[in-house]
Structure 1
Amino acid sequence: MAVAGMPVGLSRIPVAAGLALALLMVPVSGAVAEPKPTLAQARKKLAKLNEQADQVVEKYNQAAEKWKRARKKYRTLNGDLARQSERVAGLREELVSMAVSSYQSGALTGWESMVVQPDPAALLSGLAAADQMAASRARSLTAFGQATKELRTNRDKAKEVLAEADETRDELAEEKAKADRMVKVQTKLLRELGAFRQGDPDSAGIQYNGAASGNARAALQFAFAQVGKPYQYGGTGPGGWDCSGLVQASWRTGGVSIPRTTWQQWSWGASRKVSLNDLQPGDLIFSEGLGHVSMYAGDGKIVHAPQTGDVVKVVPLSAYGRRLVGAVRP
């Protein structure tokens, strides 16, 4: 007899068989693949990754700058140490020469030889020479002692700076490893989205035809000439750039020396800050968290090196994609 509400064909299936069929039709949670994220979800994830990458790259750049300073300091001290060592060696030879000369002259080189002089003038001359020789020897001894002390001090300083450089090198390697991992994740997601841009290290860029003049125009002309080149974290050109490396090189062309990293650039511009409502071509625009910087090109546009998997490009400021914290006019 058919069960009310059940199709006639299915009513004839034994109860046990029906239960088995029902169990087969229930999906097993462990065997079901994760649903593929939608395009919107993937882009949201990428935006978050880009913000994280900004901070990681900034820390890498900071460590790289610290390493350069430590290495330069060590090289300077090491050069001073080499020169000081040469001076100490010269003074040592001078003292040895004095000692040998005194020994070869025999015992009658001091008062004994002078008191037997029959000529008073010769006696006075001998006394003056002896006094002068004693003063010269004293000066040499004093100079040798001081130079030796300075040598020891400089050697200790060089050892400390070398240890600092080694520590900074390890810090740099750690930050680089973090950045490499972040780049790998970004690249994978961008390729899945079909949005990865390789860029051309030899790109001739585009021409700047904006209203900027003077130093700002020179800076923007340089930046526009980099359009199409790949973003590369830690990149300072000429074949690849990161955001702060690009603006530093651009403004260097414009005759203005600015620091290397975004944090340093923001700090450097503490007395040069301008309102985001009063931007002029060439102004540097910083994102919240100071992980990214771009250059205002005029007409509501910016030129910047965005992030991994992208290229130096000119885009509307409204499409910046990051929360802004302020601007600096070099």
Structure 2
Amino acid sequence: MRVPMAAGLALALLLAPMGSATAAPKPTIEQTKRKLAKLNEQADQLVEKYNQAGEKWKKARKKYEGLNEDLTKQTAKVAGLRKDLVTMAVTTYQGGVVGWPNLVGEVNPNQVLSGLATADQISASRAEALNAFDEATKTLRDNRDQAKQALADADETRDELAEEKEKVEKLIKIQTKTLRDLGTFRPGDPNSAGIQYNGPASGNARAALSFAFAQIGKPYRYGGTGPDGWDCSGLVQASWRTGGVSLPRTTWEQWSWGSNRKVSLSDLQPGDILFSQGLGHVGLYAGDGKIVHAPQTGDVVKVVPLSSYGGRLVGAVRP
């Protein structure tokens, strides 16, 4: 219990109003920076967790929409074939003994098939075709129901994480207030033209880094995927997209995607993707011991020394 109590006390001291005779001393700049570092780490984790749920929901929705579209097309084919079969029966056997008016009004394809096939009014090939279409429709309907369930599960997951999103927003408010109190809040310029990349990268890596450097000066934005603001994984994804590589959206997915592409931190090359401990943050190695990244609330896309991570890097991936 000591750690939570200490963290709560530090936060209370940080936010306590001034002027009370019993108030504790105002935190020093160094103490505040340490507190912000903890807040940043917490925010990174929560942001990526929520982003992950959002990606899951989007994939489930896309799957559902695709299956539902296929189902609609397949149903139309079955309906067309049913209409053709009934028309054929009516045309050929009108006035006969098979009761064709009942067939015209029939909406169940199996019953249509049964009635017509019993009277030997359609060929075996047409019967097989209708059965095949009917079975395909049933399969598609089952798949659609499965997709609906997947979408419902994703929605439930996103709803469960709504509380986590609220925590993120609360953290952002604390970060913003503290940075403004210190006079270090950087709103950034959404229209920043960035700077030119002149590092040692070549090929696709150079294209990725050139894009990332062109974003320098734009604000960090929670959930940002550009073009006027970025979060860390959004910047990395867009940069390497320019370099011809399609990366997943979140840091966790990017780390998993690169499971067979991991490289040693002692063997970095420009363009490599760098991950921090806990996989809450990610950036691009720019060469010459530097990283370009979208850091956190109240800051902008920028280049920093590799040493600024202070041993918090957990690994690297080379696209």
Q: TM-score range by the shorter chain?
A: 0.7 to 0.9
Residue 38 of structure 1 is matched in structure 2 by: 28
Does the CA contact (< 8 Å) of 1:230 and 1:310 recur in 2? yes
Q: Deviations over 1:237-266 (max 9, x none)?
A: 100111111111111111122221111111
Does the CA contact (< 8 Å) of 2:218 and 2:230 recur in 1? yes
SS of 2:195's partner is coil
Count of matched residue pairs: 281
TM-score between the two structures when normalised by the length of structure 2: 0.80
Is residue 2:52 matched to residue 1:62?
yes
Q: Does 295-304 or 155-164 show the bigger shift?
A: 155-164
Does the CA contact (< 8 Å) of 1:95 and 1:141 recur in 2? no
Let me know the Cα RMSD of the aligned residues: 2.5
Q: 2:285 aligns with which of 290, 296, 301?
A: 296
Residue 280 of structure 1 is matched in structure 2 by: 269
Counterpart amino acid of residue 195 in structure 2: I
What does 1:102-251 align with in structure 2 at a 5 Å threshold?
A: 103-107=93-97, 133-136=122-125, 138-139=127-128, 141-143=130-132, 145-150=134-139, 152-171=141-160, 173-251=162-240
Distance in 1 between residues matched to 2:29 and 2:277, nearest whole Å: 25
SS of 1:308's partner is coil
Q: Deviations over 1:34-62 (max 9, x none)?
A: 33111111111001111111111110111
Hey, which bits of structure 1, 4+ residues long, moved more than 6 A? none
Q: 1:97 aligns with which of 75, 83, 87?
A: 87
SS of 1:224's partner is helix
| Residue segments in structure 2 that go unaligned for 5+ positions in a row | 1-19, 99-118
- Per the alignment, do residues 33 and 265 of structure 1 end up closer, same or farther by CA in structure 2, a change over 3 Å counting? same
| Residue segments in structure 1 that go unaligned for 5+ positions in a row | 1-29, 109-129
Identity %: 75
Distance in 2 between residues matched to 1:140 and 1:297, nearest whole Å: 60
SS of 1:277's partner is helix
TM-score between the two structures when normalised by the length of structure 1: 0.78
- Per the alignment, do residues 132 and 174 of structure 1 end up closer, same or farther by CA in structure 2, a change over 3 Å counting? same
1:140 shift after superposition: 5.1
SS of 1:302's partner is strand
Larger radius of gyration: 1
1:168 shift after superposition: 4.0
- Per the alignment, do residues 160 and 192 of structure 1 end up closer, same or farther by CA in structure 2, a change over 3 Å counting? same
Is residue 2:71 matched to residue 1:76?
no
Q: Does 97-106 or 70-79 show the bigger shift?
A: 97-106
- Per the alignment, do residues 167 and 95 of structure 1 end up closer, same or farther by CA in structure 2, a change over 3 Å counting? farther
